[in-house]
A and B are shown apart, each in its own frame.
Chain A
């Protein structure tokens, strides 16, 4: 029909591309860009996991010769540690939840045809991809990858002569981070503008799904945080290559003066952690939003305290900018400053607890469907609580001074920031896979994957807390030289074997993902009987998301168990004919 075609073409800022390059490589379509981000993160997570496996093997069999690396020397261990942290934090935890699922589903969930600026969206992905390639290339240059950890503390990170990986490898690391920041800023610009300006008629802010709120707040955090990291990265590059002294004090390397004076390593720490702590929330807020969504969908109940959830996320985002000093209790800061940062850090527990109780309140009395997305959402809640409960320990300067350099910190942040976010990514994958690929993932394999991951995660990271309390030091490549740490070797062995099994479990996911794309059961348009807009459109969604139609929103996103309704859910686009909550 001519009118329909005309409407469909005019509907979109750009016509549906025909060629392979325009359709799948340099695509302007937010859905394709979302998939590009997702698969970038997927490759990154396996690279990061492989590096952690090498570290775990080395920790319990220090003399073993490993493929590609041979016998791992202490400096190689540090480079593995650096690249594992950097790849996981930036190219997995920041990339998949926001760049991947956010790009794919934010426009659809608010009823838009695309992101506000499709070209900038495409550029943001390709800059991120370039950053990833530059980061990986650090492995293959003279001296190898840098040793300075994902936090890049100077003077180590600022002095090319400070270690084998601190030459070109460290330059590539800084350049990669700077590129990533530019990509993230462009992405944040798109998310914020799209959310504020492209919502469909009736989609007020307080009718947005909590996923959209989470992506929106995450974008604001990214906008404010990545600019600071970019500035710090530029200063670090100048210190490394132009002889400036922003971060480097008067220091000697191998008995020689390094040629710098007067700079402050603490200045880097302040700038880095002003970015670094919000980064924790950049990683986890999208998972929080998704968990809220899934707990409601699979409990067949409205989310408990929608507005409280929104305000809690806003509070977490705001307070996240006021606590960076708790990463620096060891730096000799004034006890008064430490006290202020400590109190503010513990105060974040309040909105976090509100969210947790609201998730439990939603589950309470619900008709719970334990499908795979729900299992991972519940796993997320479990990990968030388990990892979060150790936060107030570390938030107290007196305790942190003891625990800071130990595995306690590793256990804490892997549970709450790392694996909890990863569980969010898994939950999102199982939940939205039918919409993205038109097929269902295999449920049995998904359950095996869940139990491997949940039990494995606890077996890896809970013992680390005990290892840390027993003064087991992090960043040490070997525990064989010091008697009291050597006595803890059985615990390290247990952790490594748990890591073997958990990583093996991830191949179940990988197999399920690709197998189901081809052979999975055909999915209906709304297999989970959910209410939000992505389930009102075809599977997979057409180029302009709603085939030339404009959704008109009448309801909130969580109308489940509505009394008097013909079904136990009311779509957001359906006329409101029954009493609502």
Chain B
């Protein structure tokens, strides 16, 4: 009476998911996760704007004064931005390259994936190096700020610079780990489909990290 189909004649759910299904599901999951991360940074950004406009009491004069001083941002921050944007480009090359081993008929419906010669591991390694260079660069920015006398608690603006760069760096570190997983998947024997899914999702996350950093930099430089 009840209506069931066996696993053999219905692959929508109970088969090992088809490649397209796995890719779609992974991308959807990433998209949902990105919304959660965006909410964290939107909260920081709104706190930044609110805190910037708040007056504070000066106990010496007993008057309300503004304690927000724009922080002089090191130029290295912009160089780091360039590094991250280039890494986003190399990641995109890796993402497109990895689809080579998938028969064209199976990838034809996937946007932005085409069949070309595999050089994935090269581009992944390049991206990884650039990502680490970015993180190293951000660390040097912190050192420069500290050398200039700007610590986490010196000014509210310095608090936010450390906070936003630190939180972004932490999330990018997650991307570095994902890159390592993607590189391992590309080196080790295993289903090609799994490799494509891992590299694809890592790629989109990496692009999001680059976009997020550009937004943070705009906030720090334009809303001072």
Contacts and interface: CB of A to CB of B under 8 A. Distances in A.
Interface of A: 3, 7-8, 10-13, 111-113, 116-117, 185, 188-190, 192-193, 196-198, 200-201, 223-228, 230-232, 234-235, 238, 242-246, 249-250, 257, 261-264, 267, 270-271, 274, 536, 544, 546, 548-552, 554, 571, 573-575
Given A231-B43, A246-B159, 19 more contacts: A116-B28, A189-B32, A223-B36, A230-B40, A234-B163, A242-B152, A242-B153, A245-B153, A250-B56, A261-B57, A262-B54, A263-B51, A263-B156, A536-B2, A548-B14, A550-B5, A552-B5, A574-B2, A574-B3
Given A116-B25, A242-B153, A263-B51, A201 B12 contact: yes
Interface centre among B4, B36, B37, B50 (most CB of A within 10 A): B36
Rank and list the top 7 A-B pairs by shortest CB-CB distance, nearest first: A227-B39, A231-B43, A262-B56, A7-B7, A243-B153, A11-B14, A549-B4
Contacts, number: 172
A12 B21 CA distance: 14
Contact of B3 (A223, A242, A264, A551): A551
B70 to A, nearest CB: 15
A543 to B, nearest CB: 12
Interface residues of B, number: 49
A111 B14 CA distance: 10
A242 B21 CA distance: 46
B72 interface: no
B44 interface: yes
A244 B25 contact: no
B3 A226 contact: no
B13 A249 contact: no
Given A245-B159, A267-B51, A232 B14 contact: no
A154 B2 CA distance: 58
A33 B139 CA distance: 40
Contacts of A12: 14
B104 interface: no
B25 A550 contact: no
A227 B40 contact: yes
6 contacts: A188-B36, A197-B25, A223-B39, A262-B56, A549-B4, A574-B2
B24 interface: yes
B110 to A, nearest CB: 15
A249 B14 contact: no
A10 B159 contact: no
A267 B50 contact: yes
A298 B26 CA distance: 39
Nearest to A549: B4
B167 interface: yes
A193 B15 contact: no
Interface of B: 1-8, 10, 12-17, 21, 24-25, 28-29, 32-33, 35-44, 46-47, 50-51, 54-57, 59, 67-68, 152-153, 156, 159, 163, 167
Contacts of B32: 188-189, 192-193, 223
B205 to A, nearest CB: 13
Contact of A238 (B10, B29, B51, B159): B159
Nearest to A223: B36
A575 B3 contact: yes
Nearest to A250: B57
Given A116-B25, A234-B167, A246-B159, A554 B14 contact: no
Contacts of B51: 246, 262-264, 267
Given A200-B13, A244-B152, A245-B159, A10 B7 contact: yes
Nearest to B44: A231
Nearest to B31: A193
Nearest to B11: A550
B152 to A, nearest CB: 5
B28 A193 contact: yes
B198 to A, nearest CB: 13
Nearest to B153: A243
A198 to B, nearest CB: 7
Contacts of B33: 185, 189
B179 to A, nearest CB: 19
Nearest to A257: B59
A387 to B, nearest CB: 29
A527 to B, nearest CB: 17
Contacts of B37: 227
B156 to A, nearest CB: 6
B25 A193 contact: yes
Contacts of A274: 43
A548 B6 contact: yes
B72 to A, nearest CB: 19
A267 B54 CA distance: 10
A548 B6 CA distance: 7
Contacts of A243: 152-153
A8 B6 CA distance: 10
B50 A224 contact: no
A550 B6 contact: yes
B156 A573 contact: no
B121 to A, nearest CB: 25
A231 B32 CA distance: 18
A389 to B, nearest CB: 33
Contacts of A549: 4-7, 14
A554 B3 contact: yes
Contact of A264 (B10, B54, B57): B54
A226 B14 contact: no
Contacts of A264: 50-51, 54
Contact of B12 (A13, A249, A271, A550): A550
Nearest to A228: B43
Contact of B16 (A10, A244, A249): A10
Query: Interface centre among B4, B15, B24, by most A CB within 10 Å?
Result: B4
Contacts of B16: 10, 13
A261 B6 CA distance: 67
A263 B156 CA distance: 9
B14 A10 contact: yes
B47 A267 contact: yes
Nearest to B15: A10
Contacts of B8: 3, 7
Contacts of A11: 7, 13-15
Which of A8, A244, A257, A536 has most chain B Cβ within 10 Å?
A244
A274 B28 CA distance: 26
